[in-house]
Amino acid sequence: MNGNEWSWETFFDALPVVMEGLSITVGLTVSSFLLALLFGFVWVFLRRIPYKPLNWLFTWMMEFIRSTPPLVQLFFIYLALPVLPVIGITLSSFASAVIGLGIHFSTYIGEIYRAGIESVGKGQWEAATALNFSKRDKWTKIILPQAFPPTIPMIGNYFIIMFKEVPLASTVGAAGIMYMANNYGSQHFNYLEAITIVGIIFLVLSYPSAVLIRKLEVKMNTRFDKNAKIKEIKEIDKGAML
Amino acid sequence: MAEPIVRYEDVHKSFGDVEVLKGIDLDIYPAEKVAIIGPSGSGKTTIIRMLMTLENPTSGDIIVDGTNLWKMEKNGEMVEANEKHLRSVRGDIGMVFQHFNLFPHMTILENCMTAPINVKKEDKKEVRERSIQMLERVGLGDKLNNYPSQLSGGQKQRVAMARALVMRPKIMLFDEVTSALDPELVGEVLEVIRDIAKNDDMAMVLVTHEMDFALDIADKVLFLDEGVIAEQGSASDVIEHSSNERLQGFLSRFRG
C-alpha cells in the first residue's frame, strides 16, 4: 500500500473503522451539549446572587473558563484532576470529555440565556408584579417564554461550534471518529483517507444543521410578526368554520 | 364616612440623593375616585408605584385595608415586609401602565386569563367567560385571539384595563395611561375609564395630564408640587377656589 497517493481501496477499508466511532462522537456531542444547556442555567442563577463577593467570584470563574482553551481543560480534567490531593478523582475518557466540553460551552450558553432574559423589558416584570404573580410564575409564565425563543438560533450556532470541537475528545482517548481515524492512520502508516473521511462526516452533519438553524432564525424573527400571525389565525378560523 | 381603604402616613421617597416625595399624608376611601395632577417630576407616579409595590418608600407607612403594606410584624417587632407579605396585600390592587405592558407571547384573551388562573387559582371556564365579557365591555370582543402586536395603542390600553379588571381589585391605579397614545386614540381609552368610574365600586387613583377629564370624574383632586401635596379637595374646590399660585399657573397652561 502506497502512503502517498489517494486510494479508494484504503478509503473503503478505513470507512467502516472510522464509522465505528460515530456513535461515540454523536454521544459526546449530545451529552456535552445537554450538560452545557443545563449548566448555562446554573451560571445565570449563580451570577444573579446579589451578594457581591460571590457574584464577583462566579463572574471571574466564568471568565476564566471561557478564556482558557478547551484542550487545556480536557487535559486538566483527564490527567491533572486524578492526582490532585483530597478532591482527586479519576474520570473515564468519555466523562472527562463531556464534562470538559460541557462546562466550557456552558459559559457561552449562560451568556446567551442572560442576554435573552435581559431583553425582556422591565415593564413585563412590573406587569407581572401588578398581577401578583409568584416569583416562580413570573419566571416560568412571563419572562422565560419571552426570553428563550429568540436565543434558539444562537444556541443552535453554538451547538455546531461545539460539535466541531468534539474531535478534541480524542486527545483524552474518547473513541470517536477522530480517534478511530487516528488509530487507523497510525496502524497503516496512512492518514490521508481516514482523516478525509472524518472531514466528510463533519461536513455532512454540520452543514444541514446550519441550514436548519438559519431557517429557525427566520421563523423566530417573524414570531410575533403581524402578518404572519394574522395568516395563522385566519387559517385557524377557517379550520373552525369547516 | 367609612374607614379609608388606603392611608399614607408621612411617606418619603428618595432616589439616591434626590428626595422626590417629602412627606405624603393621604386617605383614599372605598369607591373614591382620586386624580393626582401636577408638573412632571413632582412625584405623582411614585405615589402609586409605591402602592403597587414597585418602589419601596424610604420612610413612612402605607396602610392598605388595615394592613401595613411595607412592614410586617416579626417577633413583636415591625420589620421590612418580605415578598410573601407583599403578595398577601397587593392582591387587592390593580394597575394600568403608561406603556401597557401586555404580554406579547399571549393572545389578548390569554393576557386576561393568565393571572386569575395562575395567581388566584380560579376555575378556567369561569375565568374565560369573565375575560370575554370584560374584553367585550372595553370593545374588543372581536379580537380575542389576536396578539398585542396586532392592536393599536388605544386597543392595547383597553386590553390592559380589562386584564386588571378581571382580577377584581378593590383599588385600581392608572399611571398616565393616555400619555403614550396618539391624540386620536386618547378618547376611546378615557371613555372606558369613565365607564369603570361610573359603574364599578372600586377605588381609583389616576395620575394624569388629561386635566378636564380628571376634574370631571374625580371625587378628590390632589395637586402635587415639589414632593408634597400642595392642594387637595373636590374638583371645584381645587380648581376654582384655590389661591395656590403655582396651581393656578399650572392650570392656566392647560387652558391655553
Query: Does a structural domain hold residue A210?
Result: yes
pLDDT value of residue A120: 94
Domain layout of chain B by residue ranges: 6-92+169-255, 102-168
> Would A5 be classed as within a structural domain?
no
Judge: B118–A141 Cβ closer than 8 Å, yes or no: yes
Q: What average pLDDT does the segment B1-10 reach?
A: 90
A120 falls within a domain: yes
Q: Count Cα atoms within 13 angstroms, Cβ side, for B102.
A: 29
Mean pLDDT (chain A, rounded): 87
End-to-end CA distance of chain B: give it in Å, rounded: 38
ipTM of the complex: 0.93
Would you call A130 and B119 a contact, using CB atoms and an 8 Å cutoff? no
pLDDT at A82 over 90: no
Contact criterion met (CB below 8 Å) for B147 and B153:
no
Q: What is the pLDDT of residues A182-221, one digit of tens each?
A: 999 999 988 999 999 999 999 999 998 889 888 888 887 7
Domain B102-168 has CATH 1.20.1580.10: yes
- Using alpha carbons, list the distances in angstroms from residue B26 to B10, B216, B221: 9, 21, 11
Predicted confidence (pLDDT) per residue in B99-115, tens digit: 999 999 999 999 999 99
List, for residues A49-60, the tens digit of each pLDDT value: 889 999 999 999
Alpha-carbon gap: A49 to the closest alpha carbon of chain B (Å): 17
Domain count, chain A: 1
Whole-angstrom distance, CA of residue A170 vs CA of residue A180: 9
Q: How far apart are CA B146 and CA B135, in angstroms?
A: 12
Range(s) of the domain holding residue A92: 20-241
The answer to whether position A8 is within a domain reads no
Cβ neighbourhood burial of B50 (10 Å; 0-12, 13-18, 19+): buried
Just give the CATH number of B6-92+169-255. Answer: 3.40.50.300
**What confidence category does residue B79 fall into, taking pLDDT thresholds of 50, 70 and 90?**
very high
Contacts of A19 (CB under 8 A, 6+ apart): A177, A180
pLDDT of B32 reads 94
Please write the tens of the pLDDT for every residue from A19-43: 999 999 999 999 999 999 999 999 9
pLDDT by residue (tens digit) across B118-168? 999 999 999 999 999 999 999 999 999 999 999 999 999 999 999 999 999
Residue A233 has pLDDT above 50, yes or no: no
**Residue A165: inside a domain:** yes
- Cβ contacts of B149 on chain A, cutoff 8 Å: 224-226, 229
- Residue to mutate among B147, B151, B161, with most A CBs inside 10 A, is B147
CATH no. for residue A142? 1.10.3720.10
Q: Is residue A6 part of a domain?
A: no
Q: Within 13 Å, how many C-alpha atoms sit on residue B211's CB side?
A: 15
Contact A132/B167, CB-based, under 8 Å?
yes
- Give the rounded percent of residues in chain B with a pLDDT score beyond 70: 99
| Gyration radius from chain A CA atoms | 23
What is the pLDDT at residue A223? 67
Q: What is the pLDDT of residue A224?
A: 63
A225 vs B6, more confident: B6
According to the model, what pLDDT value does residue B1 have?
Answer: 62
